[in-house]
Amino acid sequence: MGKKTPNPIDAHVGGRVRMRRLMMGLSQEKLADALDLTFQQIQKYEKGVNRIGSSRMVQIAEVLNAPPSFFFEGAGDRNGKPVTVIDDPLSTLGTTNDGIDLARAFNAIKDTKARKHLVGIAEGLAD
């Protein structure tokens, strides 16, 4: 029997849960404890392997201090076709530990000239 492929919307919602959890600085274990679940269940939610029910979504939203709609932003229709642009750089930045670390560090820089200089360096590296 083959490996089950996650529904694209479940995978998107799970990715947004992961992004928000990382933004809040929570481990999977801490989120699981707050929801009275195992960290393995959080892993399955974040990968989209297990679908998140509506009441559980509300609990997750409360723990992660975000409205439930946050987790659906950028999701596609029921067939997974994008309704909005998913390749939005702000959305993808928050899906990795490096992206979240970069955003935190950037926001901590108070000197606007230094921030602009850093943007210039990043743009140069991207070319």
User: Can you give the residue ranges of every domain in the chain?
Assistant: 1-85, 96-127
What pLDDT does residue 85 have? 43
Q: How many residues does the chain have?
A: 127
Tokens of 95: 């899906």
Q: What's the CATH superfamily of 1-85?
A: lambda repressor-like DNA-binding domains (1.10.260.40)
How confident is the prediction for the chain on average, in pLDDT? 86
pTM above 0.85, yes or no: no
Averaged over 118-126, what is the pLDDT?
89
Q: Quick one: average pLDDT of 15-21?
A: 94
List, as one string, the DSSP characters of 22-43: HHTT--HHHHHHHHT--HHHHH
Distance CA 111, CA 78 (A): 45
**27 φ, ψ (degrees, to nearest 5):** -85, 165
Residue 86 has pLDDT above 50, yes or no: no
